[in-house]
Structure 1
Amino acid sequence: MNFKRRAIAAAAVTAVAGAGLLTVQATAEATQPARSQPKDCPSLTLSKGWYGENRARLQQMIDAYGRCGDGGHKGTHRSTYKGTHGSKPVAVFDWDNTVIKNDVGDATMFWLLRNSKIRTPRNADWHTTSRYLTDPAAEALAKACPASRTTLPTGRDTDCADEIASVYGEGTTTGGDAAFAGFDHRRMEPQYAWLAQLTRGWSTQQIKGFAAAARKENLAAPVGTEQRVGTGKFTGWVRYYDQQRDLIRTLKKAGFDVYVVSASPEPVAEVWAKSAGVDARHTIGIRNTTAHGKLTAHLKGCGAVRDGDDSMITYIDGKRCWINQEIYGVRGAAAEQVRPAGKRQVFAAGDSDTDISFLRDATALRLVLNRNKNELMCRAYDNGDRRWLVNPMFIEPKGRLTKPYPCATTGYTERDGEAGPVRRADGSVIPDQQDTVHGP
């Protein structure tokens, strides 16, 4: 490790008692002459696309916590999720628009609609597809999508395809009525959950097959491709970020346990994550309950939420719960709480307000791809503990947001959906923030 990397360490790993950061010893080492690292210590290979000193700070974290450093016992776990049982530092990535450009849930939904793979709801009652579906939405869907004995003919029935696409993508009917109501906005996004719930009647392997077909199409399509679904046009391409693949590969070589926690259905996320070096055992997404080998329209619970209650998914506070439960083995209501610093992930990466809670829980560094999301960017730019790294998206980065982020007034979404100020852990309000890390 060279001296510059160690100098960056001083800013990146300042010791703060009780804040889950590196130890005082690590900070003291940052002021000492650099010691050489063995040649086999893993290093990031790609420099293009990284903003400022982000790549150097990530490398410093890898060196400090990985197998070549002294901090590798911080933020370790003894996982009970899908079979890993070692004690390693943990890194957690969101998936959509964090490891890849665009959304694999969208890609799968559009494929299902174009290929007529959505089944008629149980008893032809659309309320059975989501406990939060409004009466106007259920009525609009029933009118546009007459019951079928097999699957709905959305590949040729544009009215049905348009109604489902609107409810899923916009959260409204084609007539403009709200499609979902009554949910906790910090634990549930019913539009995301609805995709998983509409896979009812298929097996997990069948859904993986559908996701694989959608993946093949979207990777083959040129950047900028649009696809027609019903009468509408939607994004029709996806790309992996080479920089994130490189980061995941390097973290794993350094001895980190790397997980993906996604608000897409778990079978879909598993299909995509494999090519980024994250296997099914390390991929967590929205999980359906099953009956007779088939997926149901109900969802697995987390923490104090029971299976079939359908009120929490891997979304904001729900991501924290699933990480605590499935990576760290915490059961019951305790999984919904912030864990002690030494029992949390060392590193986290995300791009949206949906990732806020698990990003804040990371104890060393938090990588944010700037998609102009209010609460996330308010916290990242406030950067009180110097652990936040902001980077433009690696493909088609957004330009500078001309107005400040409304942190002091409406940047935070309350549980009831109302907007409020973004507050620090001590209750103080974050002032409005300028957008300073962006694309050209």
Structure 2
Amino acid sequence: MRRPRPGLVVAGIIAAVLGATLTATPVAAGTPDARPSAAAVSAPTAARCPELRLAERWYGDNARLIQRVIDRRGRCSWPGGKAPGHRPYAVFDFDNTLIKNDISDQTIFWMLGHDKILQPPRRDWRATSRYMTDAGARALRRACGSLARPGEPLPTRTNTRCADEILSVRKEQTTTTGEEVFAGYHHRRMEAMYAWVGQVLQGYRPAEVRRLAARARTAALEAPIGATQRIGSTRQTAWIRYYPEMRDLVRTLKRAGIEPWIVSASPKEFADVWGGGLGIDRAHTIGVSQLTTRGRLNGHLEGCGGIPDGADAIMTYVDGKRCFINKRVLGMEGPRALRPARRALRPVLAGGDATTDVSMVKDATGVHVVLNRNSAELMCVAYDGDATGDGRWAINPMFIQPLPRLEEPYPCSTTAALGPRGRERPARRDDGTVIPDQEDTVFAG
């Protein structure tokens, strides 16, 4: 890993350094980061202020930035130890942010390997997504349509053709012959392939899906790091690991009275199962939520933001993540949920690793935690904010198998972002100005 930036602070001395920092850089009273006077925080309360135990494993001064938020916004800065009217909270993407690898991938791989994907109603794969193209539905029916009756399991463990077609939709968003599978959705609110992972589970009860996800979780955690598995005619990743550093962060936030939430573009039932390994319960898990008919998943998604025909038109993706945070955490309804909440109501910390997380990570008022997976739009926003913003961007290499330096600059000024129709466009700041191309400076090597 590269030499850390100056200022890395180990857990044992964080409090002392923070005291000096806060004295040198006062914060205006009444702002979200305002710290109460010394008289307002009793010595016994301050002594109980929780600290990151794995601070030395973070890159550069990232642990200091995170600890500063914990100290300023957690219970040890609450006057009289009383929680504020709006309790501070943090939001995290799940896949490749709290863990290494992807829970949707591993659950679908496990289901394909154990004949758990069900034939859709009428053998019509359009029933699994309103955005599925004729070419996609035709390819899936040709590969899988004759293998089982509607609602019955497909023999994907032994039928390579069917498994390969389903896998191609999940991994490539194309048929095995290269034809587009999804079209016509708003790319800042929806990723049809991500939504499809949950929609293909229609017919199951939510509790049944959680049981399937639990079995897939066990297999992924038991597999050695680097292990692969055969799915159809291909070999795919077989393992997942929780990041100890992120587990430590979640634990520290909870001890500090800052509520951690999972905000995932995976199905909620998957995230419910995996969140338990971090001590985050189902009530604090937001994922792609599917509606039910007579207790069974029906392939339609919960709406948000007052979008006309909102069911199936929005999910926890880019601006959709912000919408569901505002809806679930803050109780907002209608179009205002799509806009940033008032500053005092936003998360104090947000963590992510990809374009899907841009809006919610930007909304954080205390620190923006970014794991570098070379996702262009997020890294453009993060590096630009780190260079020109308020010093609250904690950019970190992945804790397991971090990436080397990206040799070419991120194309921020031209093609780093996606527009609503899926067209590449420049990444922009909140004021509308274009972000210049950014060099990759936080990496392994």
Task: Calculate the TM-score normalised by the size of structure 2.
Answer: 0.90
Matched, 1:248 2:261: no
Amino acid paired to 1:129: T
Identity of aligned residues (%): 47
Q: Report the Cα offset of residue 36 of structure 1.
A: 9.2
Structure 1 residues 304 and 48: CA distance shift in structure 2, 3 A: same
RMSD: 2.4
Please name the residue that 1:41 is paired with.
49
Secondary structure at 1:403's aligned position in 2? coil
The verdict on how the C-alpha distance between 1:228 and 1:2 changes in structure 2, with shifts beyond 3 A counting, is same
Distance 1:195 1:283, change over 3 A: same
Q: For residues 58-69 of structure 1, what are the structure 2 equivalents within 5 Å? A: 58-69=66-77
Name which of 326, 347, 350 aligns with 2:349: 347
Is the 2:417–2:426 contact (alpha carbons within 8 Å) kept by the matching residues of 1? yes
**Separation of aligned partners in 2, 1:12 and 1:142:** 63
Distance 1:246 1:154, change over 3 A: same
- Bigger drift between 146-155 and 363-372 goes to 146-155
- Quote the residue 1:296 is aligned against: 298
Q: 1:21, 1:363 within 8 Å by CA — same for their partners in 2?
A: yes
Residue 262 of structure 1, aligned match among 241, 261, 264: 264
1:330 maps to which residue? 332
In the TM superposition, residue 146 of structure 1 has moved relative to its aligned partner by: 2.2
Tell me which amino acid in the other structure corresponds to 1:22. D
Q: What is the 5 A alignment of 1:164-203?
A: 164-203=166-205
- Closer/same/farther in 2, CA of residues 369 and 9 from structure 1, 3 Å limit: farther
Q: Please state how far the C-alpha of 1:13 moved relative to its aligned partner.
A: 8.2
Going from structure 1 to structure 2, the CA distance change for 1:69 and 1:119 (only over 3 Å counts) comes to: same
- Map 1:385-396; keep pairs closer than 5 Å: 385-396=390-401
Count of residues in Structure 1 that have an aligned counterpart in Structure 2: 422
CA contact (8 A) 2:226 2:239 kept: yes
Once the 2 structures are TM-superposed, how far is the Cα of residue 39 of structure 1 from its aligned partner? 3.0
Deviation for aligned residue 1:427:
1.3
Equivalent in the alignment of 1:5? 18
Range moving further from structure 2, 368-377 or 421-430? 421-430
Contact 2:159 2:232 in 1 (8 A): yes
- C-alpha distance in 1, partners of 2:22/2:379? 23
Q: Which amino acid aligns with 2:75?
A: R
TM-superposed CA distance for 1:334, in Å, is 1.4
Deviation at 1:40, TM superposition (A): 2.1
In 2 relative to 1, CA 9–156 (structure 1 residues): closer, same or farther, beyond 3 Å?
Answer: farther
1:345-380 CA distance string (max 9 Å, x none): 111011111000111111111100000011101111
Flag the 1:282–1:178 CA change in 2: closer, same or farther, 3 A. Answer: same
Task: Tell me, yes or no, if the aligned pair for 2:65 and 2:392 is still in contact at 8 Å.
Answer: no
Residues 33 and 73 of structure 2 are in contact (CA less than 8 Å); yes or no, is this contact kept in structure 1?
no
Write the distance in 2 (CA, Å) between the matches of 1:439 and 1:298.
42
1:6 is displaced (CA, Å) by 3.1
Residues of 2 paired with 1:9 and 1:138: CA distance?
A: 59
Task: Look up the match of 1:146.
Answer: 145
Q: What is the aligned partner in structure 2 of residue 32 from structure 1?
A: none
- Alpha carbons 1:72, 1:88 under 8 Å: kept: no
In 2, Cα distance between equivalents of 1:261 and 1:164: 26
User: Could you tell me which residue of structure 1 aligns to residue 379 of structure 2?
Assistant: 377
Q: What is the alpha-carbon distance in structure 2 between the residues aligned to residue 116 and residue 338 of structure 1?
A: 43
1:47 positional shift:
2.9
SS of equivalent residue, structure 2 residue 358: helix
1:417 matched to 2:422? yes
**Other-structure match for 2:122:** 123
Q: Deviations over 1:368-419 (max 9, x none)?
A: 0000011101111111232211000000000111111111111111111111
Per-residue deviation, 1:161: 0.2
Q: Structure 1: which amino acid aligns with 2:68?
A: Q
- Alignment partner of 2:315 out of 313, 316, 337: 313
Q: Which residue of 2 aligns with 1:405?
A: 410
What amino acid sits opposite 1:387 in the alignment? R
Structure 2 residue corresponding to 1:358, chosen from 349, 360, 363: 360
Query: 1:280 matched to which residue of 2?
Result: 282
CA deviation digits over 1:270-329, x for unaligned, max 9?
Answer: 100011010011001001100111111111111214787301010000000000000000
> Unaligned stretches of 5+ in structure 1?
30-34, 78-86
User: Using the alignment, how far apart are the partners of 2:45 and 2:299 within structure 1?
Assistant: 52
After TM superposition, give the deviation of residue 59 of structure 1 in Å: 1.0
Output the CA distance in 2 between the equivalents of 1:269 and 1:281: 11
Kept in 2: contact 1:261–1:284 (CA 8 A): yes
Partner AA of 1:43 in structure 2: E
CA distance in 2, matches of 1:224, 1:307: 43
Please say which of residues 312-321 and 380-389 is displaced more in the overlay.
380-389
What is aligned with 1:94? 93
Contact 2:397 2:443 in 1 (8 A): yes
Partner secondary structure for residue 38 of structure 1: helix
Assess, with a 3 A threshold, how the Cα gap between structure 1 residues 38 and 386 changes in structure 2: closer, same or farther: closer
- Post-superposition offset of 1:2: 3.6
- Please give the alpha-carbon distance, in whole angstroms, between the structure 2 residues aligned to 1:12 and 1:96: 35
Alpha carbons of structure 1 residues 344 and 281: separation in structure 2 relative to 1, 3 Å: same
Distance 2:444 2:26 in 1: 27
Cα distance change on mapping 1:173 and 1:375 into 2, 3 Å: same
8 A contact 1:200–1:295 mirrored in 2: yes
Q: In 2, distance between residues paired with 1:394 and 1:10?
A: 32
Partner Cα separation in structure 1 for residue 16 and residue 185 of structure 2: 51
* Distance change in 2, residues 1:12/1:389 (3 Å): farther
Partners of 1:277 and 1:338 in 2: how far apart?
28
Q: Which amino acid aligns with 2:296?
A: K
CA distance in 2, matches of 1:237, 1:126: 29
Instruction: Report if aligned partners of 1:13, 1:364 keep a CA contact under 8 Å in 2.
Output: no
Q: 1:178 to 1:249 in 2, by over 3 A?
A: same
| Structure 1 counterpart SS, 2:75 | coil
Alpha carbons of structure 1 residues 181 and 46: separation in structure 2 relative to 1, 3 Å = same
The verdict on how the C-alpha distance between 1:170 and 1:13 changes in structure 2, with shifts beyond 3 A counting, is farther
Are 2:56 and 2:63, in contact at CA under 8 Å, matched by a contact in 1? no
* Structure 2 letter corresponding to 1:122: P
**TM-score (structure 1 length as normaliser):** 0.91
1:100 partner amino acid: I
